[in-house]
Homo-oligomer: A and B are copies of this chain.
Amino acid sequence: MDDEWSIPAVAVAVDLVVLTIRSAQLQVMLVERGIEPFRGKLALPGGFLASEDEDLDTAAMRELTEETGLPAESLFLEQLHTYGAPRRDPRRRVISVGYLAILPDLPEPVAGGDASAASWVPVHQVLRRRPALAFDHARILADAVERARRRLEYTTIATAFCPAQFTVSDLRSVYEIVWGQSIDIRNFHRKVTSVEDFLIPTGERTTKNGGRPAALYRRGKTETLHPAILRDSTR
């Protein structure tokens, strides 16, 4: 791995799939491209490494805060997959490292940096309908959504979609929306509350959803679920 000659110089980019739940839909943050190629098309937020000294994770976090204008608190960020097809960018050879970010429902993103506009778009609308995204971003998005769906089964990332305090119902609706299937209210309640260190009761209650007041929880320290909360794959 050492020959100094003939090492192609490559540009390395970081692309983010930023997911949230708004209006009871799984939505992804997209930017409208201001320049060629794919000018005017929608694309994932992202960009090239800013300097020789920037780590990949740092670059992903920087892009995220630049585009959303938000502090990095209560944020889930994970590297997904690296895409390196030779002509995925028509200008030059670009390798893109895809990241998955998950946020609670937030105010409108602030357009910033090289993005002329940033907005939330329902995922099903992006994947099922035209126009497709710029570059291979539709593929990256599809991979990210599939990863998120699996992560709900085995990990506690569902809480990353929720604000600091949330009810079991809020959490359940995350599962239902991301998976696109309904879940038995009562069994779900028992399952999530019985996992050690998953949900910490705050002692407070809320009636924001109507009906009997629901207990409020905050995320616990556990990051993996044993046993898993499995999707019904027969449906």
- By a beta-carbon cutoff of 8 Å, the part of chain A in contact with chain B is 1-3, 6-13, 15, 33-35, 43, 45-56, 79, 81-86, 93, 95, 97, 114, 226, 233
Are A2 and B35 touching (Cβ within 8 A)?
yes
Whether A97 and B114, one on each chain, are in contact in the complex, defined by CB atoms closer than 8 angstroms, is: no
Minimum CB–CB distance from A120 to chain B (whole Å) comes to: 19
Given A9-B9, A52-B93, 16 further pairs, Cβ under 8 A: A1-B43, A2-B47, A2-B114, A3-B114, A8-B11, A8-B12, A9-B11, A10-B10, A10-B11, A12-B84, A53-B86, A55-B84, A55-B85, A79-B81, A82-B97, A226-B233
Asked whether A12 lies within 8 Å of B13 as measured between CB atoms, the reply is no
Chain copies in complex? 2
Q: How far is the CA of A3 from the CA of B11 in the complex (A)?
A: 12
Question: In the complex, are the beta carbons of A1 and B48 less than 8 A apart?
Answer: yes
Pair A1/B84 contact, Cβ less than 8 Å: no
> Min CB distance, A99 to chain B, in Å?
10
Cβ distance A193 to chain B, nearest Cβ, rounded Å? 21
Complex Cα distance A8/B56, Å?
13
What's the minimum C-beta distance from A121 to chain B, rounded to whole angstroms?
18
Q: Are B7 and A11 in contact (CB under 8 A)?
A: yes
* Interface pair A34/B84, CB less than 8 Å apart: no
Contact at A2–B34, with CB atoms within 8 Å? Answer: yes
Shortest Cβ distance from A203 into chain B, in angstroms? Answer: 31
Query: Which residues of chain B come closer than 8 Å to A9, judged between CB atoms?
Result: 9-11
Given the known inter-chain contacts A11-B7, A12-B12, A15-B1, please indicate yes or no for A82 contacting B85, CB distance below 8 A: no
In Å, the complex CA distance between A56 and B86 comes to: 9
| Least distance between A74 CB and chain B CB atoms (Å) | 24
